[in-house]
Amino acid sequence: MDNKLITITEKVLKNKLIDKSEAYFLSDIAGAGVYKLFSYANSIKSYFRGDTIDLCSIVNAKSGACPEDCSYCAQSAHYNTKVDVYPIIPIDKIIARAIEAKKNGARRFCIVTSGRKTDDKEIKTIANYVNQIKDLGLLACATLGILGEEEIRILKESGLDRYHHNLETSEAFFPEICTTHTYAEKVITIKRAKELGLSVCSGGIFGLGEGWEERIEMAFALRDLDVDSVPINFLSPVPGTPLEGKGYLNPLEALKIIAIYRFILPDKEIRICGGRNTALRTLQPFIFISGADSLLIGNYLTTSGRNPEEDRRTMEDLGLRW
């Protein structure tokens, strides 16, 4: 195992891409071997990404009443989750959250809305918000669903830096978690954003019931799409959703996902996002020594996150910058 792991690592460090058989070999590593996997993933991260952690924060700008049936989501109207439901919040609340994010060390700030897509009136409102976020010295990002070319162009012209649109899981497994829109629609949206000159953030959620095959397939799809940032989320089962009975991933399995994604996507941002408190528990500092170079700080969409001060202290203790 050691020799093959070293060989695969050296291949990546020579700017060569690994294939699926090598990725499956990495996924089979178990026991004490996972710590070696983390170490080699960290060496790849250091080589391609250095020791600076990219921090971002989000605001749930429009919540609940979503017509989509994503089985993990607290905001779907198909399920009784008791989530807050409200329209797009006013600019003063957006700016207050953006200022707070910047004080906490965030470089990027993302406006997130629930729903299949954002309508024309909302797009114009959000375009104005984006312009003001940019004026604060933050990189503006948005998560607004499945958008068309003109909608994306309006956002780009307003100063949007990055569009976030997760694949969520592999193409084959996607119908198991959502039936109201398709994986293909997601891919089209990602390609549109890239073609119009936006940076793209796309990843998924782990712990939905998928196996290593689905995890690896999604990683290779993201590599083919050449996205810039890959958010890794871990399922936090929400009461009232079809996945409420799912348990949490084991912390070492969660870290193993991060490490293998670093091998497959060596030069991309690997961004750890929702669910890390419950999936990683006391092992959260290990994300920085198993391949991650980016972090979502503060609260998530419908759940509380880790105190940003704790994250900053962890990074400082590890000798990292942000």
Q: Which residues are the active-site residues?
A: 66, 70, 73, 110, 141, 201, 271
CB 286 within 8 Å of CB 38: yes
Would you say the C-alpha torsion 292, 295, 301, 307 has a positive or negative sign? positive
Strand ranges for the chain from DSSP E: 54-62, 108-113, 139-143, 162-164, 199-201, 204-206, 229-234, 269-272, 294-296
Query: How far apart, in Å, are the Cα atoms of 131 and each of 103, 108, 114, 126, 139?
Result: 19, 13, 21, 9, 10
Supply angle C-alpha 80, 73, 88, rounded to 5.
Answer: 90
Cβ count near 276 (within 10 Å): 26
Q: Write the CB contacts of 70 (distance below 8 Å, at least 6 apart in sequence).
A: 76, 168, 177, 178
According to DSSP, residue 158 is labeled: H
- The phi, psi pair for 270, rounded to 5°, reads -105, 105
Contact 48, 266 (CB under 8 A): yes
